[in-house]
Amino acid sequence: MATVGDPPRRRPPPGPARILAVRCPRWPVRSLGTDERGPVAVVAGGSVVAASAGAAAAGVRPGLRRRDAEVCCPDLVVLARDVAAEREAFEPVLSALETFGVPVTVRAPGWAALSVRGPARRHGGEAGLAAAVDAVLGRLGPPGRGRRGATGGRAGQPDARERWWRIGVADGHLAAGLAAWRRLVVPAGGTAAFLAPLPVELLGDPALAEMLRRLGLETIGAFAQLDQGVVGARFGRGALALHAVAAGREAVGPAGRPPQPPAQVERRLDPPTGQLETALFVARGLADELVGSLRRRGLACRLLAVEVELADGRRLERRWSGTGSASPPLVAERLRAQLESLGRHPGSPGVAEPDGAAGGELAAVRLVALEAVPDGGDQRSLWGRQRTADDERVARAVARLDGLLGPGAVWRVASGGGRGPAERACRFRFDEPPPGPLAPAPWPGRLPAPSPAVVPVTPVPAALVDAAGAPVRVDGRGALSAPPAGVALGAGPTRAVRGYAGPFPADERWWEPGDHRRRARLQVVVAGGAAYLLALERGAWSLEGTYD
Amino acid sequence: MAAPDLADPGRADPRLAAPAPAPAPSSAPGSAGPALRRPVAELAARLRPSTLAGDDLLAADEALAGLLGGPGLRRGSTVVVDGAAGAGATSLLLRLLAAPTTAGAWCALVGLPTAGIVAAEELGVALDRLLLVPEPGGRLAAVVAALLEGCDLVVAHPGGAVSPREAARLSARARERRAVLVAASAAVGAAGVDPEPVARRGGWPGTADVVLESLAASWVGIGTGTGRLVAHGIEVLARHPRHAPGAPRQLLWLQEHPGTTTPDGPALDGRMPTGGRLLGQATG
């Protein structure tokens, strides 16, 4: 171990992992095996997801609405997005990367990454490794050709010599992905400097980017210079992780550590099975088990390793990132992909057939949660309650409403501290965690139950008059100037007061000079049985609630 | 937990758990008239279908059982909550949500930005099972339809924005999804600032299985400058347009108050409960 003052030479300080990323630009289009020069766009949800080089030259950009894209480029060929096909077309790339002997992490179809540390030693450094990866991918041929029913015939043959992939090396996944865009090998420790001039949008969080732009922070470097504590307090936990990325310190910090004790589940199949259905069933059960055990510890899996072992001893481990990566249907889908990949591995004849692992029988499946994060926003069940099928149903209905009304139209409520009926109701969005339970505190001046069942959204001015028609006031000692005889709400008529109670004074935040409020509340029952809660502040009465 | 006692009506049915009836006395058939009739009655009880329509219920407050004609809200039904301005229709609606949310059912309030959350909690609503869509814009029908897919009870406050056709379609959706649709009239959630337009704006343009109408409110505990509001009593009229011709009427006390029992009489009798004056009687 190094002592103080002695620079550690053998072992680098624990820092962000060196990552090599392979990214395929315009993958939704590429994976279809179409000609890059032709005007092709892939559309999902009414807007363009990716456009071929030919379409891009005509001005078709991702994010453009389909109709606008067709105006830009009248002979545009529009295809619907097929994520399953994108995954399938990416399989050969993953198989090729796995020949380097380290687990491959799939960020998304068209974006894979592997850890540099081991393979770089064998290939003469990072640049050597990048060249080796480049050579391996060069032997693959253009993507999407083997796909049945591809539209290649119409759009012509893609150019076989064209490089459809990009390779980059940097500290951490996100930086490596950005380095791959520019085909760069960023030296160790130089990631922050590499990221600094890039626009904040490239961090991949549009809401945060918009906010930073409004604050005048236009580059990742400017964001990185903010104080970490300030970022956490102002922008929340998600931004804190991105702030670490911006500073070149991805995945260092409390988030993203392997869970302690480690969380893994394994099932050995005896006898080994050749049935894909059985394998998928086992995978779903295992995923359920893993998610359940993590959830009991308040964690969610962010990086999952799926390891399969065949009866003939071959093994394949692949890593999948993203929260929700351990959800049972996704795990089953990944296991299927891995078995098919094993099936078409060199050494086993033939290609993977959809009815099972052609290369052998499945002997064991293991799922390991490599990184876990505190389960906050992903979990909507409250107060330790297990999330039930009902909750899932509600979450789906809310997701539909988000599509219908825009995100954030659905609220949930809790009661909080305060005195008036409006301040005591605490609203939060459906996907936000609820406010923590409140410590019991005295609220002098709070009225006991019942509370008004109707609380106006905007304050309604009110006029309270005595028998002579003069306005009723409350003096400094909390006494009414005269018994109220009539009340008029908004522009309504004056109604006779049949009973009243109060005034109940509330002296709020007297210790804060700017926030100090003095109010007096009065309950009033008018002829007809309706009851109102009126509040007097700075000499003016207003309607705080209706006891309806 | 989604109301397990409702999910499995067969197990909750005491008839099924009861032991087999004693064998009928086969000897001396002529002498035992009443002894024969008893096994016949038991047999008839056992032959009744084990899942009755009434078993498929969403929990409701005991105090509302008399008005609803049963121990709960029938799933798939449409309930209209109506009332005069200031007569307690909002409280009645919130009270309707108390038992289902407490039993674990999800409820949603659409188009009621003024609903008092603190009052809802005081009336027994479990807020962690409540969704709010305060501003559905002009798409109330679509929002309610989407929520009926996920929630057990959806309160829609149309405010004149639902056509008779849409109303019929929403009722059909509720029936199909075994959820309860509660249509709130314009009086629900109205601050009572301007009572005139509330009375003129129409209610639910469709049909209903139950119409609950709050006719008048009375208050206990408030005087002229003394006391405070303690207990809210509302007089509720329940109509069952499809079934019973009679309309039960009940004075429902939303808060407990010592010294009075819930009177069964058709109107408030004006008796003064302990410590306060009964105010604001009104006729429907």
Note the pLDDT tens digit of each residue in B197-207: 544 455 788 88
C-alpha B134/C-alpha B140 separation (Å) is 10
Q: Are B213 and B237 in contact (CB under 8 A)?
A: yes
**Three-class secondary structure of residue B248 per DSSP:** coil
Residue of B118, B188, B198, B215 to mutate for A, most A C-beta atoms under 10 A:
B118
Residue ranges of alpha helices (H) inside A13-145 are 27-30, 53-57, 66-72, 83-98, 117-122, 125-138
Q: Which residue has the higher pLDDT, B1 or B180?
A: B180
Q: How confident is the model at residue B30 (pLDDT cuts 50, 70, 90)?
A: very low
Q: Which residue has the higher pLDDT, B26 or A414?
A: A414
**Three-class secondary structure of residue A429 per DSSP:** strand
Contact A411 B134 (CB under 8 A): yes
pLDDT of B63 above 70: yes
How many CB atoms sit inside 10 A of residue B272's CB?
11
Q: Which of A401, A501, A530 minimises the CB distance to B86?
A: A530
Contact residues on chain A for B191, CB-CB shorter than 8 A: 454, 456, 460, 489, 543, 546, 548
Distances (CA, A) of A488 to A453, A466, A499, A538: 20, 12, 15, 18
pLDDT of A25 above 80: yes
Q: Which residue has the higher pLDDT, A283 or B106?
A: B106
Q: Which of A426, A451, A499 minimises the CB distance to B279?
A: A499
Q: How confident is the model at residue A145 (pLDDT cuts 50, 70, 90)?
A: low
Read off the pLDDT of residues A200-224 as tens digits, 9 standing for 90 and up. 888 888 888 888 888 888 899 999 8
Q: Are B63 and B252 in contact (CB under 8 A)?
A: yes
pLDDT of A320 above 70: yes
pLDDT of residue A348: 38
**Contact A546/B at CB under 8 A:** yes
**Three-class secondary structure of residue A270 per DSSP:** strand
Distances (CA, A) of A397 to A195, A381, A382, B7: 40, 15, 18, 21
Distances (CA, A) of A157 to A37, A59, A150, B228: 10, 23, 11, 84
Contact residues on chain A for B92, CB-CB shorter than 8 A: none
C-alpha A279/C-alpha B154 separation (Å) is 41
Q: Which residue has the higher pLDDT, B54 or A85?
A: A85
Tell me: cis bond preceding A450? Omega within 30 of 0 counts.
Answer: yes
Contact A498 B135 (CB under 8 A): no
B76: left (phi over 0), alpha (psi -120 to 50) or beta: left
Helices (H) and strands (E) counted in chain B, each on its own, are 10, 11
Most confident among A83-92, A107-116, A378-387, B273-282 (mean pLDDT): A107-116
Read off the pLDDT of residues A231-285 as tens digits, 9 standing for 90 and up. 766 776 677 778 888 887 765 333 345 566 678 888 888 888 777 778 888 888 8
Region B213-227: mean pLDDT is 85
Contact A531 B217 (CB under 8 A): yes
Contact A547 B232 (CB under 8 A): yes
C-alpha A499/C-alpha A504 separation (Å) is 15
Region A15-32: mean pLDDT is 84
Q: Which residues contact A503 (CB under 8 A, 6 or more apart)?
A: A474, A478, A479, A480, A520, A521, A522, A536
pLDDT of A322 above 90: no
User: What is the overall mean pLDDT for chain B?
Assistant: 74
pLDDT of residue B6: 39
Region A376-405: mean pLDDT is 62
Q: Which of A393, A411, A455 minimises the CB distance to B132?
A: A411
In chain A the domains, ranked by start, together with CATH numbers, are 263-374 (3.30.1490.100), 385-443 (no CATH), 460-547 (no CATH)
In this structure, what token pair is assigned to residue A102?
């380290």
Helix (H) or strand (E) holding A166: strand A166-171
Strand partners, B232: B219
Contact A413 B143 (CB under 8 A): no
Nearest residue on chain A to B253, alpha-carbon basis: A450
Q: Which residue has the higher pLDDT, B262 or A448?
A: A448
pLDDT of residue B17: 41
pLDDT of A43 above 50: yes
From the number of C-beta atoms within 10 Å of its C-beta (0-12, 13-18, 19+), residue A296 rates as exposed
pLDDT of residue A434: 64
Burial per residue of A435-447, b for 16 or more beta-carbon CB atoms within 10 angstroms, e otherwise: eeeeeeeeeebbb
pLDDT of residue B29: 45
Q: How confident is the model at residue A102 (pLDDT cuts 50, 70, 90)?
A: confident
In chain B the domains, ranked by start, together with CATH numbers, are 56-279 (3.40.50.300)
Helix (H) or strand (E) holding B66: helix B65-68
pLDDT of residue B147: 92
CA nearest B6: which of B83, B104, B88, B114?
B104
Read off the pLDDT of residues B115-131 as tens digits, 9 standing for 90 and up. 999 999 999 999 988 99
**Contact A387/B at CB under 8 A:** no
Contact residues on chain B for A457, CB-CB shorter than 8 A: 113-114
pLDDT of B1 above 90: no
C-alpha A307/C-alpha A319 separation (Å) is 9
pLDDT of residue B131: 92
How many CB atoms sit inside 10 A of residue A374's CB?
14
Distances (CA, A) of B107 to A136, A241, A243, B147, B269: 57, 36, 39, 9, 36
Read off the pLDDT of residues A337-384 as tens digits, 9 standing for 90 and up. 777 777 654 433 333 444 444 456 888 888 888 877 666 544 444 434
Distances (CA, A) of A542 to A538, B52, B151: 11, 52, 36
Beta carbon pairs, A and B, within 8 Å: 229
Instruction: Indicate the range of A70-84, B20-34, B97-111, B170-184 predicted with least confidence.
Output: B20-34
**Three-class secondary structure of residue B171 per DSSP:** helix
Region A134-153: mean pLDDT is 64
Q: Are A496 and A526 in contact (CB under 8 A)?
A: yes
Q: How confident is the model at residue B224 (pLDDT cuts 50, 70, 90)?
A: confident
pLDDT of residue A361: 80
Instruction: Give the gap in angstroms from C-alpha B21 to the nearest C-alpha of chain A.
Output: 40
CA nearest A133: which of A19, A248, A12?
A19
Tokens 């931004």 belong to residue: A239
pLDDT of B12 above 80: no
User: What is the overall mean pLDDT for chain A?
Assistant: 77
Instruction: Give the gap in angstroms from C-alpha A431 to the nearest C-alpha of chain B.
Output: 12
Nearest residue on chain B to A482, alpha-carbon basis: B225
In this structure, what token pair is assigned to residue A395?
């979450």
B259 φ, ψ (degrees, to nearest 5):
100, -20
Read off the DSSP letter of residue B231.
E
- Restricting to A residues 406-445, those with a Cβ less than 8 Å away from any Cβ of B are 409-415, 421, 424-427, 430, 434
Contact B142 A404 (CB under 8 A): yes
Q: Which residue has the higher pLDDT, A253 or A474?
A: A474
| ipTM of this complex | 0.73
Q: Which residue has the higher pLDDT, A160 or B156?
A: B156
C-alpha B236/C-alpha B254 separation (Å) is 12
C-alpha A509/C-alpha A507 separation (Å) is 7
C-alpha A531/C-alpha B86 separation (Å) is 7
pLDDT of A12 above 50: no
Contact A414 B127 (CB under 8 A): yes
